Structure 1
Amino acid sequence: MRAVQIKEYVKVRYPYLPPRLTLSPARSKKTQTLLQQPILTLFPGPARPHSLRSPNPHPFRRQIPHRDPLRRHKLLRHPPNPRQIPAPTTTPWVGGAEFAGTIAAVPTAAPSPRFRVGDRVFGATQGAYATHVLAPETTLLPVPKGWSFEDAAGLFVTAPTSYGGLVHRAGVKAGDWVLVHAAAGGVGLAAVQIAKAKGATVIATAGTQRKREIAAEFGADYVVDYTDKAWPEQVKKLCATHRTGNGKAGVDIVYDPVGMIEASLKCVAWNARLLVIGFAAGKIEKVALNRVLLKNVSLVGLHWGQYAKFETETVGEVWKGIFELVAQGKFKGTAFRDESFVGLESVPKALQALGGRETWGKVVVNVTGNENAKSKL
C-alpha cells in the first residue's frame, strides 16, 4: 500500500494510482521503508522507466505520507509531435498524479488533522507512480463507503470536472438532451452518469464498438460513432425523431473534452450550451462565431484545476453533489477492467495501452498487488 504525509502534509500508502506532488527527502534516520518509483531519465516517452529506491517521505506541515495500493493514469495521449509536451524541469522525474490508498503517517505538529493513520483516502499529487507519496492534506478526500481503491483512484479529477461542467456551468436539468463526446473516457463516463442522474437524455459518441457498449452500460440512451463523418446528422435525426418543439433541432448541451465544437454546432438546439472541457484530439479549434450568434448558443469553458484558487466554495459544493450521487447509487467508478496492471513495472505497458487508445474509463495500476480494496468508511 502507499503513503501520504500531513503536518501540513500527510503521508499515504497507495493501493491504486493515477499522478501529482514533489516528494521531499526523508528527515529521519529512523525511516527504514524504501520508496520505489519508476523514473524517467529521458523525456518524452514511458517506454524505459528506471526503478529508483529512495528513503520513505516524512510528513511535514500539512502533508500526509500515503501508502499507495492503486494508482490511476491521467496521462497525456502521445500527440503527433512529442515536442508539444513540456519536459520536466528536473530529472530524474517521477510521473503520476491521482492515487488512492491508506494514510501511513500524519505530522506530529498538526493540531487537528483531518485524517488518521489507516484512513482510506484518494487524491492527487505529483509523483504518484511510487509505493509512497507525500500529499497536501487539502488534496485528500475519504474513499466513499463500499468503493474499492481501484475505482477511487480515478475519481479525483474526472468526477468534479464533469459535475462542475454540467451542473455549475451548463445548468443541466431534467428533460435536457446532452451530447457527450468521447463518452467512454474517464470524464466521458462521469459525464454520462451525472447527466442521467439529473434527468437528462444522453447521446454518447465513441470511436469503437466496445467503447460504445461501455457508454451504454454506464447509462447512455443512444450511441453514435464519431468516426463516421455524418455523425452530426445522426444526432439531428435522433432529436428529430424523439423530441418535440425546439428540441427537434438538436441537443441542449454538448460536453466536449476532445475538440469537436465546430461540428457539434450543426446539431444543437436554440439556446444550447457547449462545454469546452479540453482538446484531447491535440488541436485547438477555431469556431465560426456566426453559428454561435444564429443559434443563440453559449460557449462555456471549464478550467476545474483553477477553482481551488478562484472559487473555493464551489469546490465544496461540487464534491458534496458528487458524494450525494454516490450515496444514491447514481454514480459508480469508471476503472478500466478489460486488463489488469499490477506492480510499478506495469506502468509502461499501461501507458502504452492508454496512448494507443486501447482502453476505456480510467486506467489504474495496482502498485502493491494488494487486492483488499473495499472501503470500510
Structure 2
Amino acid sequence: MSVVVGLRPLKACRIHQYQGPESVQVEQVDLPEPGPDQVRIRVRAAGMNNSDLQTTYGKYRGYGHQGLPQMLGQEAAGEVEAVGTNVTEFTPGMRVFGHVAGAFAESALGPAAELLPLPQNISFEIAASLPIAYLTAIMALVCKAKLQADEWVLIHPGSGGVGTAATQLAQLLGARVIATASSDQKTNYLRALGIAHVLNHTTQDVVTEVQKITEKKGVQVALDGGGQVTLPQCLAAIANEGRIISYGYTTGMAATLPLVNLIGRNVQLFGIALWYNQDYRTTLTVLRDLVIPAIVKGQVQPTINLVQGLERVSQSLLQMEQNRLMGKVVIVP
C-alpha cells in the first residue's frame, strides 16, 4: 500500500498534438499514485531541457514516453508526498531531487532509484536545474573522457544548460577550459563564470583559435552538443589520442567526419544517451558525492536564466527554440 499525504486537484502541462511549444496546455489531471518502486513528489521546482522542446514536435520520445497526451518535464525537486510499497529510503516530507517524469506539474512521479536527498542549504530551484545537465556532463567528462587535471577541454557550445554545467565541472576537476557561445552576450556570460578562454563561434574560427590557445597541441577532450556543425570542428581541434563526447545535435544530425583524422590520431569518439547508459548509476553517485558538496561550498554555481510558472512553459520553450537563453530555465508550479 502507498503512503499518501493529502489528495488534491493537480495542474500539469501536457501536449495533445506535436505542434511545437504553442501546443502546450496547462490543465487539470488526476493525481498519480506511485507504483511499487516510485515516489510521488510535491514539485517545488522543475528544470527545462532541450528534450522538452523536441518532445513538443514529436522528435524526442525517450525515457518514459507513453504517447499522447503527454506530460512535459523530466527533472524536479520537491518534497516526498507518497511512496510505493518497495520504497524504504524515502518517507513523506523528505526533500529530494532527480529524474521525475511529467515534472511540469504540481505533483509528479519519480523512480526511487533515480532520486537523491536534497540538503537543506540548497534551494529547490538550484536542485531542479541539476539532474539532466550535470548528469550528462558527469557522464561525458568523468565516465567517458576520464578528464584529468591540467588537460585542455573544449566545450562546444558552452552557454546552455549542459554546457555551463560542463564548464563548471571541468574547472572543479582542475582542467583548462575553452568554451564557445553564439553571441557576445553569451561569451560575456561565460567569462563571468570564470572561463578564461571563450570563443564566439559565429565570428571566430573555433579550430584556429583552439590551436592558438593550446600552442598547436589541440585539446585532449572535446564535448560536442551541436552535432552536424560542431562535431567536425571538435575532431579538427582534438589532440592525438584525444576523446570526443557527443551528446546533442542542435545544428543537425547528419555530421560528416574525415576518418583519416579520427583513425590517424587514435581519437576516441563517444555518443551518450543519459538514461540508457551503463554508467548512469555512477553519474548519480558523482552528483551526490562531488557536485552537491561543491555547491554547498560555493565551488560550483549552477546557472539559472529564468524562473517561470506553469503558464509560461510554452513561452519559455519558444525562447529556447530561438536560442535566446543562457543556462537553465526552472519552472515553479
**Residue correspondence of structure 1 range 31-46 to structure 2 within 5 A:** 32-46=7-21
Give the Cα–Cα distance (whole angstroms) in 1 for the partners of residues 24 and 49 of structure 2: 17
Match of 2:78 among 75, 78, 101: 101
Say if 2:326 is the partner of 1:351: no
Q: Compared with structure 1, are the counterparts of its residues 222 and 164 closer, same or farther at alpha carbon in structure 2 (3 Å cutoff)?
A: same
Bigger RCO (CA 8 Å, 6+ sep)? 1
Match of 1:278 among 248, 268, 278: 248
SS of 1:346's equivalent in the other structure is helix
What are the superposed Cα offsets for residues 333-352 of structure 1, whole Å, 9 maximum, x if unpaired? 22214xx412x111111111
Give the Cα–Cα distance (whole angstroms) in 1 for the partners of residues 251 and 154 of structure 2: 17
Say if 2:282 is the partner of 1:314: yes
Contact between 1:252 and 1:272, CA under 8 Å: does it hold in 2?
Answer: yes
Give the Cα–Cα distance (whole angstroms) in 2 for the partners of residues 169 and 118 of structure 1: 36
Give the Cα–Cα distance (whole angstroms) in 2 for the partners of residues 11 and 153 of structure 1: 23
Give the Cα–Cα distance (whole angstroms) in 1 for the partners of residues 207 and 52 of structure 2: 25
Q: Compared with structure 1, are the counterparts of its residues 86 and 193 closer, same or farther at alpha carbon in structure 2 (3 Å cutoff)?
A: closer
Q: Report the alpha carbon displacement of residue 358 of structure 1 after superposing the two structures with TM.
A: 1.0
Give the Cα–Cα distance (whole angstroms) in 2 for the partners of residues 94 and 265 of structure 1: 37
Q: Report the alpha carbon displacement of residue 159 of structure 1 after superposing the two structures with TM.
A: 0.8
Counterpart of 1:92 in structure 2: which amino acid?
Answer: P
Matched with 1:331 is 300
Say if 2:44 is the partner of 1:76: no
Give the Cα–Cα distance (whole angstroms) in 1 for the partners of residues 178 and 26 of structure 2: 44
Give the Cα–Cα distance (whole angstroms) in 2 for the partners of residues 330 and 57 of structure 1: 38
Q: Report the alpha carbon displacement of residue 327 of structure 1 after superposing the two structures with TM.
A: 4.4
Q: Report the alpha carbon displacement of residue 196 of structure 1 after superposing the two structures with TM.
A: 0.8
Q: Compared with structure 1, are the counterparts of its residues 360 and 316 closer, same or farther at alpha carbon in structure 2 (3 Å cutoff)?
A: closer
Q: Report the alpha carbon displacement of residue 364 of structure 1 after superposing the two structures with TM.
A: 0.9
Matched with 1:137 is 112
Q: Report the alpha carbon displacement of residue 83 of structure 1 after superposing the two structures with TM.
A: 6.8
Give the Cα–Cα distance (whole angstroms) in 2 for the partners of residues 144 and 362 of structure 1: 20
**Residue correspondence of structure 1 range 261-300 to structure 2 within 5 A:** 261-300=231-270
What are the superposed Cα offsets for residues 20-61 of structure 1, whole Å, 9 maximum, x if unpaired? xxxxxxxxxxx6410111222221322143332233223341
**Residue correspondence of structure 1 range 1-377 to structure 2 within 5 A:** 7=2, 32-76=7-51, 84=59, 90-107=67-84, 109-110=85-86, 113-228=88-203, 230-240=205-215, 248-259=216-227, 260-307=230-277, 310-311=278-279, 314-319=282-287, 320-337=289-306, 340-342=307-309, 344-367=310-333
SS of 1:105's equivalent in the other structure is strand
What are the superposed Cα offsets for residues 243-271 of structure 1, whole Å, 9 maximum, x if unpaired? xxxxx322111111112121223222222
Q: Which has the greater radius of gyration?
A: 1
Contact between 2:143 and 2:279, CA under 8 Å: does it hold in 1?
Answer: no
SS of 2:221's equivalent in the other structure is strand
Give the Cα–Cα distance (whole angstroms) in 2 for the partners of residues 91 and 129 of structure 1: 16
Counterpart of 2:254 in structure 1: which amino acid?
Answer: I
Give the Cα–Cα distance (whole angstroms) in 1 for the partners of residues 9 and 212 of structure 2: 59
Contact between 1:66 and 1:105, CA under 8 Å: does it hold in 2?
Answer: yes
Contact between 2:224 and 2:234, CA under 8 Å: does it hold in 1?
Answer: no
Contact between 1:11 and 1:133, CA under 8 Å: does it hold in 2?
Answer: no
Q: Which runs of 5+ in 1 are unaligned?
A: 1-5, 13-30, 241-247, 368-377
Counterpart of 1:279 in structure 2: which amino acid?
Answer: Y
Aligned residue pair count: 326
Give the Cα–Cα distance (whole angstroms) in 2 for the partners of residues 62 and 363 of structure 1: 29
Q: Report the alpha carbon displacement of residue 324 of structure 1 after superposing the two structures with TM.
A: 4.2
Q: Which runs of 5+ in 2 are unaligned?
A: none
What are the superposed Cα offsets for residues 150-177 of structure 1, whole Å, 9 maximum, x if unpaired? 1111211111211221122112112111
TM-score (norm. length: structure 1): 0.78
Give the Cα–Cα distance (whole angstroms) in 1 for the partners of residues 4 and 327 of structure 2: 27
Counterpart of 1:325 in structure 2: which amino acid?
Answer: A
Q: Compared with structure 1, are the counterparts of its residues 92 and 204 closer, same or farther at alpha carbon in structure 2 (3 Å cutoff)?
A: same
Q: Compared with structure 1, are the counterparts of its residues 264 and 51 closer, same or farther at alpha carbon in structure 2 (3 Å cutoff)?
A: closer
Give the Cα–Cα distance (whole angstroms) in 2 for the partners of residues 138 and 251 of structure 1: 36
